[in-house]
Amino acid sequence: MVKGFSDNEVKNNTQIKETKKEKNGLAGFLKGKKFTYTLPGKKQINIFGSVVLGLNMILVLLVILYLKNQEFHDFVFNVGR
């Protein structure tokens, strides 16, 4: 016999009672709802990609302008106060 194991069969006659709590709030509201996710189309992907790339390019240009142009640096510094 291996230590920790028993040859005797364990009988458990007590039933485990599952307590189900009613969900409140948003979880309760969404309980019966079924949501489906659809992938965005090619046109929508292109629009969002263009917006993200455009904003990144504007950010890079503003950082370069901030570092190279003293007047713009002073403007940003004074507006930020």
Do residues 21 and 13 make contact, with C-beta atoms less than 8 angstroms apart? Answer: no
**pTM > 0.95:** no
pLDDT for residue 1 is more than 60: no
Give residue-wise pLDDT tens across range 46-74. Answer: 999 999 999 999 999 999 999 999 999 99
Give the N- to C-terminal CA distance of the chain in Å, as an integer: 79
**What CA–CA distance (Å, rounded) separates 31 from 23?**
8
What are the E-state strand segments in the chain? none
Give residue-wise pLDDT tens across range 4-47. Answer: 666 666 566 555 555 566 667 777 777 777 777 788 899 999 99
pLDDT at 68: 96
**What CA–CA distance (Å, rounded) separates 55 from 62?**
11
